[in-house]
Amino acid sequence: MTHREGVTTVSHDWTLIKASSLIDDQVIIEIDGNTPVEQACHHLVKNNISSAPVFNMSTSPHGNTVKKYCGMFDAGDVIAYILLVLKSSSVNDTGSLEIQEIVQRAMNGKQVPVSLASDLSQRNPFYSIMHETTLLSAVEIFACGTHRVCVLKPDGTIKGILSQSTVVKYLYEHRRQFPEIDDLLNRTVRQLSLGESAVISVNADSPVLEALSQMSEHGVSSVAVLGHMGVILGNISMTDVKYVLKSVHHRLLWETCIQFVSLIRTQQGIEDGQDRLPVFDVRLETTLGFAIAKLLATRAHRVWVTDERDRPIGVLSLTDIMVAVAGQVGVTPTGTRRSSVSRPAFAI
């Protein structure tokens, strides 16, 4: 490599970096589409992963069997499935054909294959990007609410999964290299018009089932658990459904939200040898950089934005950060996946 005065080989334009370069080859856990949903759930829990690509084997024109990816199975789908099955006794003719088929099968005691259930939440269809896809394109996909995409190798097999957190971590760690990112990170949450948004919440004494219903109905991945005077005591996220799955007869669905949060935090504290704050939050005056550092350190997908009395006034998620980053280069993503208008609601 030759170096000349004033010429640098380091890129200062993040938009053109290949998204695939952010990850190494990974061993991906995939799920056969014929696997019954319950087994697929245990697969996620056992391997301690939050989502897995679902494939079906199909015959190619040449006559050999080939893997075809039909969706991503994740906690959102698990929740939608649980709510659906619990509600199945009162189902009528609303809902798409697939959902009806699921309910029919579940009611007749027949196993539901995960290929049918893998996009029940309609929030994480199978998204794949190619080897050459730019980071900007990946950010645009993430800004619409998708949490992870599969990165394909030139031969069509999966190289690995690229998540929102990996992209945010990369941009944060290289912010000095990218002046417009550095500039963005120095602005406060308030200055970026982030942080004041609808807060989906449940009362500390309501059952966990209510929290899951709210998540599904509003298309969010976390709900705030509120105590006395509207103070936020904790939150329940989509990924917490794994604790429900681990409990006998899913009994945790009927515990109160505060008991559920206590259980999870208590368990986590023993495993880590150290306890955490029950709520990760920032203020409107916090810089985006600090908020991101907190997200990365705690490995959370969102932080709550609270006022001086610890009441939640909004939420700042990795998706919001992706929107802000895309906005920095003048890109406004369309087609966000938050609205529940076009879907049947699974409220109980």
Partner 1 sequence: MTLDLDTCLEHLYEKKLLAECVLKEICEKAKELLLRESNVMHIQAPVTVVGDIHGQYYDLIEIFRIGGYCPDTNYLFLGDYVDRGLYSIETIALLTCLKLRYPDRVQLIRGNHESRAITQTYGFYAECMRKYGSAQVWHYFTDMFDFLTLSVVIDNSIFCVHGGLSPTIHVLDQIKIIDRFREIPHEGAMADLVWSDPDPDKDDFAISARGAGYTFGKLVVDKFLHQNQMSHILRAHQLCNAGYLVLFEDKLSTVWSAPNYCYRCGNKASILEVGGNGERFFNVFDAAPENDEKNSQVAVPMDHQIDYFL
Residues of this chain that bind partner 1 (CB under 8 A): 227, 233-234, 258, 261-262, 265-266, 269-270, 273-281, 283, 290, 293-294, 296-300, 310
Q: In terms of CB distance, is 42 or 294 closer to partner 1? A: 294
Please tell me the distance from the alpha carbon of residue 344 to that of residue 234, in angstroms, as a whole number.
Answer: 28
CA 295/CA 128 separation, integer angstroms = 25
DSSP per-residue codes, 197-263: ----EEETTSBHHHHHHHHHHHT-SEEEEE-GGG-EEEEEEGGGHHHHHHSGGGGGGGSBHHHHHHH
Q: How far is the CB of 90 from partner 1 (least distance, A)?
A: 35
Which of 64, 274 has the CB closer to partner 1?
274
Q: In the beta sheet, which residues pair with residue 232?
A: 226
Question: In the complex with partner 1, which residue's Cβ is closer, 123 or 175?
Answer: 175
User: At its nearest, how many Å lie between partner 1 and the CB of residue 226?
Assistant: 12
Instruction: Give the nearer residue to partner 1 in terms of CB position, either 174 or 265.
Output: 265
> 104 vs 267, which CB is nearer to partner 1?
267
Report in angstroms how near the CB of residue 185 gets to partner 1 at its nearest: 14
Query: What are the distances in angstroms from CA 199 to CA 87, 88, 158, 172, 277?
Result: 25, 29, 36, 27, 20
Q: How far is the CB of 163 from partner 1 (least distance, A)?
A: 18
> Residue 78 belongs to what H/E stretch?
helix 75-87
Q: What does each C-alpha distance from 115 to 10, 69, 140, 341 come to in angstroms?
A: 44, 10, 27, 24
- Residue 270: CB atoms within 10 A of its CB come to 10
Of residues 4 and 228, the one with the C-beta less far from partner 1: 228
Q: Residue 312 CB, nearest distance to partner 1 (Å)? A: 13
Q: Least distance in Å: CB of 86 to partner 1?
A: 27
